[in-house]
Amino acid sequence: MLLTHLSLTNFRNFARLDIDVPGGPVLLVGGNAQGKTSLLEAVYFLATFVSFHATNDRQLINFMAGREPLAVTRIVADFQYSDALPGPGESSQREHRLEVRLIQEANGFGNSPGLRKEILFDGVKRKTSEAIGNFNAVLFLPHMLRVVEGSPEERRRYLNLAMGQVLPHYARHLGEYARVLTQRNALLKQISERGGDPEQLNYWDEQLTAIGAQVIHARIRAIAELERQATRLHSQLTRGEERLRLAYQPSYDPLPTSPLQYSLPLDAAADRSGFTIDYIQQGFLESLKSVRNEEIARGMTTLGPHRDELRFLSNGIDLGVYGSRGQGRTAVLAMKLAEVAWMKEKSGQWPVLLLDEVLAELDPARRQDLLSNLLESEQSLLTTTDLDLFQADFVQRAKIWHIQAGRLLF
């Protein structure tokens, strides 16, 4: 897909931006604090409807505008699906418009002003779960290595952001799961602290396992598909010397383990592809029953997809524990490129690639690999403070935008 036009109003340090966006690579060049990352953040917002680094949507509203009683931040994008490829959904329409509005208004009671988020797809208001999946983007950030070396939460986040864009049901299930988990934890805490009938948990167990089974089932499939792409790309990046594997370790694992085993060894070949959602739910429910006393004692849910883990193995070695930095970087690059290839496979469209200062992190060989991959994709936006990091032929093929204080200079 191609982003053809972007318009921002009161988004971070962009009071107003209105720009036609070409296909191919676009290099956003500028000094520090000029708005490069903010522009990528705006585009990524259209794919996920969350910011990749703000903790609160309010932070996206331009400081000056935000002081007024009524402030409206707008991101509007025109985009089109490629001709040769079928677009997602039923419609054969190629051109679309996606608009996000963040509306901050004083509520008249002297409280802090309320914030409303509205999403319009082709002019019609949509819920987030309906709007997601129409416009896809993949984001490359500095410190990507955290996906390999960081906490399990970083890896779940990686999975959730990629899967949520192409599997709209998944995004909805995650939201429901989080709500049920909060309720169940509150009840566990209450029983733990003040006592009460543990049978009250039955209802929440049923809810948690019904939605949790959907999440686990979707992860089993998506990880297998991502692994296929990642292994292929990683083999290219390592010139065939290393073999990458993704080891999914669900907190509740539908694979039977022997009673003596706490969990399966990391490099065990584990085929979970045949399990149905019902089967997973039944097993999950039984496991929850067996840990009920422990959960009551701890006042929290200890089992379920919110605790799932995903490990990266290269030639059988866990990269998060034993990998060198270079190996980690190569694996993350393979994972990111796999995300791109997987999205294209699922939706029939290239996602827009967003790369924030990532070249500086890579050695020259990886840099070259990444740039040649970028040239294959339909559209990419890359930020840099230093054009010299890019090879001359790449710069020649790219469109260059200079950014200064929230404005584009040509």
Q: Under the rule (CB under 6 A), what is the footprint of ligand ATP?
A: 12-13, 30, 32-38, 59, 61-63, 385
Half-sphere exposure of 116 (CA within 13 A, CB side): 10
Question: At its nearest, how many Å lie between ligand ATP and the CB of residue 15?
Answer: 9
Q: Which does 173 bind (CB under 5 to 8 A by kind): ligand ATP, Mg ion, none?
A: none
Q: Which of 72, 6, 70, 68 is nearest to 39 (CA)?
A: 6
Tell me whether residue 122 or residue 386 sits nearer to ligand ATP (CB atom): 386
Tell me whether residue 37 or residue 349 sits nearer to Mg ion (CB atom): 37
Q: Which does 164 bind (CB under 5 to 8 A by kind): ligand ATP, Mg ion, none?
A: none
Question: At its nearest, how many Å lie between ligand ATP and the CB of residue 137?
Answer: 17
Interatomic CA distance for residues 47 and 348, integer angstroms? 16
Sequence-ordered strand ranges (E) for 67-170: 70-80, 95-105, 114-121, 124-126, 137-140
Q: Which residues bind Mg ion (CB under 5 A)?
A: 36-37
For the chain, the C-alpha Rg in angstroms (whole number) is 23
Q: Which does 32 bind (CB under 5 to 8 A by kind): ligand ATP, Mg ion, none?
A: ligand ATP
Tell me whether residue 296 or residue 381 sits nearer to Mg ion (CB atom): 381
Question: At its nearest, how many Å lie between Mg ion and the CB of residue 36?
Answer: 5
Q: Which does 38 bind (CB under 5 to 8 A by kind): ligand ATP, Mg ion, none?
A: ligand ATP
Place of tokens 């049978």: 199
Instruction: Decide: 267 and 245 in contact? Cβ < 8 Å.
Output: yes
Interatomic CA distance for residues 36 and 218, integer angstroms? 35
Beta strand 2-11 pairing with 70-80: antiparallel
Question: At its nearest, how many Å lie between Mg ion and the CB of residue 138?
Answer: 17
Tell me whether residue 94 or residue 117 sits nearer to ligand ATP (CB atom): 117
Number of residue whose CB is nearest Mg ion = 37
Strands in 244-249's sheet, in edge-to-edge order, are: 244-249, 309-314, 317-318
Q: Token pair for residue 374?
A: 């970028």
Q: Which does 128 bind (CB under 5 to 8 A by kind): ligand ATP, Mg ion, none?
A: none
What are phi and psi for residue 90, nearest 5 degrees? -80, -35
Tell me whether residue 63 or residue 279 sits nearer to ligand ATP (CB atom): 63
The number of residues making up the chain comes to: 410
Tell me whether residue 33 or residue 268 sits nearer to ligand ATP (CB atom): 33
Instruction: Decide: 140 and 353 in contact? Cβ < 8 Å.
Output: yes
Question: At its nearest, how many Å lie between ligand ATP and the CB of residue 330?
Answer: 24
Q: Which does 13 bind (CB under 5 to 8 A by kind): ligand ATP, Mg ion, none?
A: ligand ATP
Between vectors from CA 71 to CA 66 and to CA 73, what angle results, nearest 5°? 95
Tell me whether residue 11 or residue 394 sits nearer to ligand ATP (CB atom): 11
Question: At its nearest, how many Å lie between ligand ATP and the CB of residue 14?
Answer: 8
Tell me whether residue 39 or residue 340 sits nearer to Mg ion (CB atom): 39
Tell me whether residue 35 or residue 283 sits nearer to ligand ATP (CB atom): 35
Question: At its nearest, how many Å lie between ligand ATP and the CB of residue 38?
Answer: 3
Q: Which amino acid does the sequence have at 273?
A: S
Instruction: Decide: 188 and 299 in contact? Cβ < 8 Å.
Output: yes
Interatomic CA distance for residues 119 and 46, integer angstroms? 9
Instruction: Decide: 98 and 77 in contact? Cβ < 8 Å.
Output: yes
Q: Which does 62 bind (CB under 5 to 8 A by kind): Mg ion, ligand ATP, none?
A: ligand ATP
Sequence-ordered strand ranges (E) for 12-94: 14-20, 24-29, 70-80
Question: At its nearest, how many Å lie between ligand ATP and the CB of residue 11?
Answer: 8
Question: At its nearest, how many Å lie between ligand ATP and the CB of residue 46?
Answer: 17
Q: Which does 209 bind (CB under 5 to 8 A by kind): Mg ion, ligand ATP, none?
A: none
